[in-house]
Structure 1
């Protein structure tokens, strides 16, 4: 049976109840399960951003911060509240993927298959359980796919303006949106029937809208000496240096396993005669992969490109032959199910450590340092953070009131400082600071320094040891599953001189550079 785009005047197929049920189930499962191990290292940073709303940060654009503020305003000090928006946007992405299948002429079966593929793909099970910019990135790229397909079906110019608005918001969510935008423009340049639109006032109006929306962040970046460039350079020096182009390509399949047969079919469809209207999305995929290979991006940086292709693949397979689509879906989901306990916390952490040892997927336990460990990195990054606050409380209890009044509580990185600020209020602790990343902007100038409590990942820095008369190890993180296991809380006392100039110098250096 030939596969073709729906006629322009075709009446859209109604959304299936199955797709709506999958979207709702995705939201509820991710919401109720994702916080079982606790919060992730990165989530503590983004929770801290709610107290420092701005048009930009060293690590990310600004859009996640107001969501952080809203989550805490609506849900209070609640892990469930932290997981609300990732789970919500996970459900919305499932729904949007079904809408893409519907727009491409897919019936309820194709819509359901596309939604299930996105709901269960390993990378999305992980992303939609974490309060990180990635869940916004996946949503916006999927939205772009839907808007592009709507436009190529109708060629209604105003849809380009909506696409411009969506791109502007996506750039405020995560800078990797620029990869997809560039890829789409390159794809349209290679698509003869769409190329003329790049010269119209509607296209440039869309560019203007996107630029206007992102302008406040660009102004912030310029007035703060473009810290995003420092952040990218730091990533290239540390995390991305261990990325292998071969492993990046190979891991695209297991990363998207439940939907891999569908997105491969969607790519094929885009290069057939019948799938010609959708060719820009297929071409954009190859440009995205190429750009990420050139920049040594991590494998999951490409995750957002797949939902529209899964939707197109579901439509293509459904029209080729009735049994093909369910067969492809069953194959993908069947291969995915053994990985689910490693991605959703359905097991205790002890059971998880035993379980992942039996899985033949090395990427699950390979961390950004390039080595294998006993747990997936995200799971290890959810343990041990609650141990810092009691240790800091113990250190403060050793200080007389005069010393305590001028004591700085400091974390070696944003995870430790953020965790202290999350768990600390219940124990009456003062706010903790760090000069790591955006936190450098938030540390006030002290009037004097009488003591220093340092949550570190190793030995205390030598300059602090020389500046104080005594240093004591108050305690260490004990959790055997924590990535920060063995991290110390140190108490520095009896300063040898006035430390205010030293601290002010460090704050200035951190604000101008990137730690």
Structure 2
């Protein structure tokens, strides 16, 4: 009775929101924290208008979640759950706005839900999850403007574009695409008063972050430069496109490829050329900029509704073809999905996908949240035992140093119940370092390749107190975690930061 009150398109959206939430909650029950999540959770304890590696929005979300003062995986993913539900909602609404009926909405949401890459990036507490949301809301606003010519949607586009900019700077590729498309097809937009009001609001919203960037000598530019030098310039774009096709579920290509490269040039979709051509340009710009495969997901998500509406119209008298294709897509997606989010138990995942030990006896897994709970518990036990065995006067001046930011973040989040001292790292954006003198006692955690001699550069006394094996490591450097007790620091905190920072 309830669903009869609403058109079938909205019923499909409601059902998929529910299914998506169930899948996410199931995955949360089977996993721990992904390594990068610790950095963003820690950033929530140090609110600022910017950080070296990312804009401030993720830290604002973390600050709110941190109010619960818990290491619960569920609580620390509350915003992911909300963002995922809203992304499904706006993907469905965008499909409807483009003229799609229930079958097109069904096809769109199947593609979104059963893409292991899209599901995986939405599941983790990383900027990518919220970046995708703001992209699709901006695309919805653009489609709404194309349909109604109501200029208020230009203002909403600018508002959500600003929120997207404060989430992940890569949304500038959408802006570049929209600017290019507008200059070619819709120059009349620049005469709209609402556009300039929206742009003014955009500037007001992003100004605090811009001021922070200026004050700190544009660390975002430095970060991008380092990223290109260390990673992006070495990428094979053919390889990245291959990963994009695989991780977005190969059977979704039939929808998003035409959505990007055919719809902009089909006369029946002339009304929506502004947004369709903008997405096409965004894809090309990202490709030229050597974006990683998962950088393309927001563009793909925006293109899928265009493709599903196109095929719904094209095959309206032969819908059985769409039914058959969606069945294949669904079955394939069900098989692939656990490789994106942990909706099945770890051991079952290893058995089902025939994960075999490598030459070193490790079973390499791509996502460490599959096994992180066990690893961090074992590391915490070693660190806690070392700490409580220290004399009381040394406990008072003890700190924990993580060679990688995930190690420090994990100690601060998960170590509360042990009463452990403050942990810090000088890796990436983990810049929050306590002050201490040369009398400080440091419990240091590093990867396999960080041996005693590395720490000996900074301390007069170094003792290895434990090795925690990681049987699921995918890199040799992660085969073990080594824990050291270090005393006789050769520098104070200021000098130490300058020497060890990387």
* Same-fold status (TM-score > 0.5): yes
Match of 1:403 among 383, 388, 394: 394
Corresponding position of 1:179: 173
Preserved contact between residue 53 and residue 66 of structure 1 (Cα < 8 Å): yes
Preserved contact between residue 137 and residue 160 of structure 2 (Cα < 8 Å): yes
Preserved contact between residue 68 and residue 75 of structure 2 (Cα < 8 Å): yes
Matches within 5 A, 1:9-24: 15-24=9-18
Preserved contact between residue 405 and residue 425 of structure 2 (Cα < 8 Å): yes
Q: Cα distance, 1:419 vs. partner?
A: 0.6
Corresponding position of 1:432: 423
Corresponding position of 1:280: 274
Match of 1:208 among 174, 183, 200: 200
Match of 1:29 among 5, 10, 23: 23
Q: Cα distance, 1:190 vs. partner?
A: 2.2
Corresponding position of 1:291: 285
**How many Å separate the matches in 2 of 1:248 and 1:333?**
24
Match of 2:468 among 465, 477, 491: 477
The reply on whether 1:332 has 2:329 as its aligned counterpart is yes
Corresponding position of 1:263: 256
The reply on whether 1:130 has 2:124 as its aligned counterpart is yes
Q: Cα distance, 1:173 vs. partner?
A: 0.8
Preserved contact between residue 151 and residue 159 of structure 1 (Cα < 8 Å): yes
Match of 2:436 among 404, 427, 446: 446
Q: Cα distance, 1:340 vs. partner?
A: 1.8
Corresponding position of 1:4: none
Larger mean Cα displacement after TM superposition, 242-251 or 280-289:
280-289
Corresponding position of 1:375: 365
Preserved contact between residue 72 and residue 78 of structure 1 (Cα < 8 Å): no
Residues 390-439 of structure 1: CA deviation (Å, up to 9, x unaligned): 22212223421222222221111210000111111111101100111222
Corresponding position of 2:382: 391
Distance 1:378 1:460, change over 3 A: closer
Corresponding position of 2:339: 342
Which runs of 5 or more structure 2 residues have no equivalent in the other structure? Answer: 1-5
Which runs of 5 or more structure 1 residues have no equivalent in the other structure? Answer: 1-11, 360-364, 366-371
Does the residue aligned with 1:222 lie in a helix, a strand or coil? helix
Q: Cα distance, 1:101 vs. partner?
A: 1.2
Corresponding position of 1:150: 144
Residues 37-93 of structure 1: CA deviation (Å, up to 9, x unaligned): 211001111111121111111111111112112223248331111222212211211
**How many Å separate the matches in 1 of 2:68 and 2:270?**
46
What CA RMSD, in Å, does the superposition of the two structures yield over aligned residues? 2.6
Match of 1:57 among 40, 48, 51: 51
Preserved contact between residue 127 and residue 167 of structure 2 (Cα < 8 Å): yes
Q: Cα distance, 1:335 vs. partner?
A: 2.6
Distance 1:163 1:461, change over 3 A: farther
Corresponding position of 1:487: 481
The reply on whether 1:465 has 2:465 as its aligned counterpart is no
**How many Å separate the matches in 1 of 2:134 and 2:382?**
41
Preserved contact between residue 460 and residue 490 of structure 1 (Cα < 8 Å): no
The size of the alignment, in residue pairs, is: 483
Does the residue aligned with 1:31 lie in a helix, a strand or coil? helix
Does the residue aligned with 1:274 lie in a helix, a strand or coil? helix
Larger mean Cα displacement after TM superposition, 66-75 or 16-25:
66-75
TM-score by structure 2 length?
0.89
Match of 1:243 among 230, 235, 241: 235
Does the residue aligned with 1:437 lie in a helix, a strand or coil? coil
The reply on whether 1:455 has 2:456 as its aligned counterpart is no
Distance 1:381 1:443, change over 3 A: farther
Q: Cα distance, 1:14 vs. partner?
A: 6.9
Corresponding position of 1:161: 155
Does the residue aligned with 2:463 lie in a helix, a strand or coil? strand
The reply on whether 1:419 has 2:419 as its aligned counterpart is no
The reply on whether 1:97 has 2:94 as its aligned counterpart is no
Corresponding position of 1:252: 244
Q: Cα distance, 1:476 vs. partner?
A: 1.7
Corresponding position of 1:368: none
Preserved contact between residue 355 and residue 363 of structure 2 (Cα < 8 Å): no
Corresponding position of 1:362: none
The reply on whether 1:225 has 2:217 as its aligned counterpart is yes
Distance 1:356 1:115, change over 3 A: same
Does the residue aligned with 2:485 lie in a helix, a strand or coil? strand
Distance 1:404 1:418, change over 3 A: same
**How many Å separate the matches in 1 of 2:467 and 2:414?**
17
Residues 373-397 of structure 1: CA deviation (Å, up to 9, x unaligned): 7222455684623332222212223
TM-score by structure 1 length?
0.87
Larger mean Cα displacement after TM superposition, 322-331 or 428-437:
322-331
Residues 305-359 of structure 1: CA deviation (Å, up to 9, x unaligned): 1223211222221222223432332232233222122223233333433444579
Q: Cα distance, 1:15 vs. partner?
A: 4.1
